[in-house]
A and B are shown apart, each in its own frame.
Chain A
Amino acid sequence: GAVVSQHPSWVICKSGTSVKIECRSLDFQATTMFWYRQFPKQSLMLMATSNEGSKATYEQGVEKDKFLINHASLTLSTLTVTSAHPEDSSFYICSARDWIGGDEQYFGPGTRLTVT
């Protein structure tokens, strides 16, 4: 149980283009999903918290117009990196909390984004 998927697992795009990453909870409903990015040999950095049907809450320093988050259903959240630049290259990971309860976050496998 508590499986979270992400798609794509890796993507290469050209500078100036936009990239969409999907995060799905496969066997549970998630009212809250989280988006992180992780640089090599560093810990997780929370970018935003997304609640189904409402606007995401972004962490300080994260540009909401650049990292668009949509949480349209209890099993799907998307992160769109708009007008990507090489400095946006990173490992993006989503997580989800079970609707029924429990405080644990269950993580997807991550998406490696490379902007050339």
Chain B
Amino acid sequence: EDQVTQSPEALRLQEGESSSLNCSYTVSGLRGLFWYRQDPGKGPEFLFTLYSAGEEKEKERLKATLTKKESFLHITAPKPEDSATYLCALRGDAGNNRKLIWGLGTSLAVNP
């Protein structure tokens, strides 16, 4: 069964303190791994798609990487406005492969 596990559940950083969020997964055949950001009371905002091990993508202070078992979202020198819940999801080959399998998210708080 395809599965996504995110850690830690919550993370509190000081402004400028870099860190990484983890997304571990099991999947029969990976068709895409996705990172989203969600602010309270809003819909998720798309950040990155990764397709194969070794792939990396960057956007401002965020960099997403992928291995065969996990993905990391690295946050460099975070600012308070980076505070949000970060969600990881994947599409696999099995079953209804149009749907995404979601992790529970990491709630990030960046203190000024």
Interface stretch, picked from A41-49, A66-74, A77-85, is A41-49
Given A44-B87, A110-B41, A112-B41, do A49 and B99 touch, yes or no (CB 8 Å)?
yes
Closest to A109 in B: B43
Interface residues of B in 68-112 (CB under 8 A from A): 87, 91, 96, 98-100, 102-105
Q: Is B25 located at the chain interface by the 8 A CB criterion? A: no
Given A103-B32, A109-B42, do A34 and B99 touch, yes or no (CB 8 Å)?
yes
Interface residues of B in 36-55 (CB under 8 A from A): 36, 41-46, 49
Instruction: State the CA gap A103–B41 with chains docked (Å).
Output: 24
Given A42-B104, A43-B104, A109-B43, do A104 and B49 touch, yes or no (CB 8 Å)?
yes
**Is there contact, CB below 8 Å, between B46 and A49?**
no
Instruction: State the CA gap A6–B104 with chains docked (Å).
Output: 23
**Is there contact, CB below 8 Å, between A44 and B102?**
yes
Q: Is A2 located at the chain interface by the 8 A CB criterion? A: yes
- Interface size bracket, A side: 20 to 34
Given A43-B87, A46-B99, A103-B49, do A108 and B34 touch, yes or no (CB 8 Å)?
no
Instruction: State the CA gap A112–B40 with chains docked (Å).
Output: 12
Q: Which residues of A contact B63 (CB under 8 A)?
A: none
Instruction: State the CA gap A108–B91 with chains docked (Å).
Output: 20
- The smallest C-beta distance from A108 to any residue of chain B, in angstroms, reads 5
- The smallest C-beta distance from A7 to any residue of chain B, in angstroms, reads 13
Q: Which residues of A contact B96 (CB under 8 A)?
A: 49, 57
**Is there contact, CB below 8 Å, between A104 and B46?**
yes
Q: Which residues of B contact A49 (CB under 8 A)?
A: 96, 98-99
**Is there contact, CB below 8 Å, between B49 and A107?**
no
Closest to A46 in B: B99
B contacts, CB < 8 Å to A: 31-32, 34, 36, 41-46, 49, 87, 91, 96, 98-100, 102-105
- Of the A-B pairs whose beta carbons lie under 8 Å apart in the complex, a sample of 20, sorted by A's number, is A4-B43, A34-B99, A42-B104, A43-B102, A43-B103, A43-B105, A44-B44, A44-B87, A46-B99, A49-B96, A49-B99, A57-B96, A93-B43, A103-B34, A105-B100, A107-B43, A107-B46, A108-B43, A109-B43, A112-B41
